[in-house]
Amino acid sequence: MASGEMSEGGKKKSSGIGGLLFYMVPVVAVAAMLIFGGLFLRDYMEYKAAGDEYADLAADYIRGGDADEANAVAGNADGAAGESVGVKSLPYPSLQIDYDALLNTNADFACVLYIPVLELRYPVVYSSDNVDYLHKTFEGKQNFAGTIFYDCLSPHDFRAKNTFFFGHNMKNGSMFGTLKKLEKEPGLCASNPYIYVYTKGHVRKYRIFSFYETTDGSATYDDFEGTDGYDQYVKRCLSKSTLAIDEHTIDFAKRPALLTLSTCIGRSGGNQRFVVHAALEGAYNITGECRP
């Protein structure tokens, strides 16, 4: 009997291809749901594992630093965290950080990065090759959230005129997943334009002056030398920026050291990047006195 003919019972038989599709479509749909559901669950578990780890680190070793905190309790003169000797107006938020415990957890520990307006607070590690911490957490666990890391080409201890930190743009807002909010919500930076970097006994305070989208390998990542190189680099950053600042907000004639935060944006594996530039406004010891 030819396809499409009436059967003896008077009902029309389905064609061969049509019948196959009739059964295959729901099977494929169910398979797709299982596959994508599995991927979603995998991603969720990865996010949760990384989130839990960093939440535990913050709870155990990095305390304080509420976003609205303008002044804090000073530590004692030798920089021991948490040993307050009185109240003193400070130019940075007070974080109680157990540096020794963080260093014992990871020998590559470099500093703690804090951006109050983004509620971003993470330990930063030194990278040996800018690859080792792409998918490894601070505690050394394999996870695509990775760790915020200090550029392997930047001299340690912020001796470079431009120090780079790299971190993933995580969908759940972890790592550098909130940096883009500076561009999407201009009022954030206007309300609090500061980035703080804490090392044992010292705090560096940076003021954000530029952020924009660029590409991996652009001039943003180039080194510069001398005063002319510095001036040209800053001028390029300001010209690309979506942040408008008064030209006298930062005294670039003094050529303060720069801090650049970089993260990926756009499709996974692409070369689109979002960067935030900040200039050093002050470097302080733990008591809040300006370092020479």
- Place 248 in a pLDDT band, splitting at 50, 70 and 90: confident
Q: What is the largest CA-CA distance in the chain?
A: 100
Query: Which of 8-12, 88-92, 194-198, 239-243 comes out lowest in average pLDDT?
Result: 8-12
Classify residue 24: in a domain, yes or no.
Answer: no
pLDDT of residue 21: 61
Percent of the chain clearing pLDDT 70 (strictly above)? 74
pLDDT of residue 31: 62
Classify residue 176: in a domain, yes or no.
Answer: yes
259 - beta bridge partners?
Answer: 163, 278
For the segment 67-93, what is each residue's pLDDT rounded down to a tens digit? 434 443 333 333 334 333 344 588 999
How many angstroms separate the CA atoms of 27 and 187, rounded? 50
Better-scored residue on pLDDT, 284 or 171: 284
pLDDT at 43 over 50: yes
Classify residue 32: in a domain, yes or no.
Answer: no
pLDDT of residue 74: 34
Classify residue 34: in a domain, yes or no.
Answer: no
Range of the domain at 70: 62-285
Classify residue 100: in a domain, yes or no.
Answer: yes
Overall domain count for the chain: 1
> Mean of the pLDDT values across residues 260-271?
90
Better-scored residue on pLDDT, 48 or 205: 205
Q: Say if pTM beats, i.e. exceeds, 0.85.
A: no
- Place 171 in a pLDDT band, splitting at 50, 70 and 90: confident
pLDDT of residue 284: 95
For the segment 99-158, what is each residue's pLDDT rounded down to a tens digit? 999 999 999 999 999 999 999 999 999 999 999 999 999 999 999 899 999 999 999 999
Classify residue 112: in a domain, yes or no.
Answer: yes
Better-scored residue on pLDDT, 11 or 57: 57
Rounded alpha-carbon distances, angstroms, from residue 9 to 4, 221, 242: 14, 76, 74
Classify residue 19: in a domain, yes or no.
Answer: no
Q: What is the CATH classification number for the domain harbouring 226?
A: 2.40.260.10
How many Å is the Cα radius of gyration of the chain? 26
pLDDT at 176 over 50: yes
How many angstroms separate the CA atoms of 288 and 286, rounded? 5
Classify residue 156: in a domain, yes or no.
Answer: yes
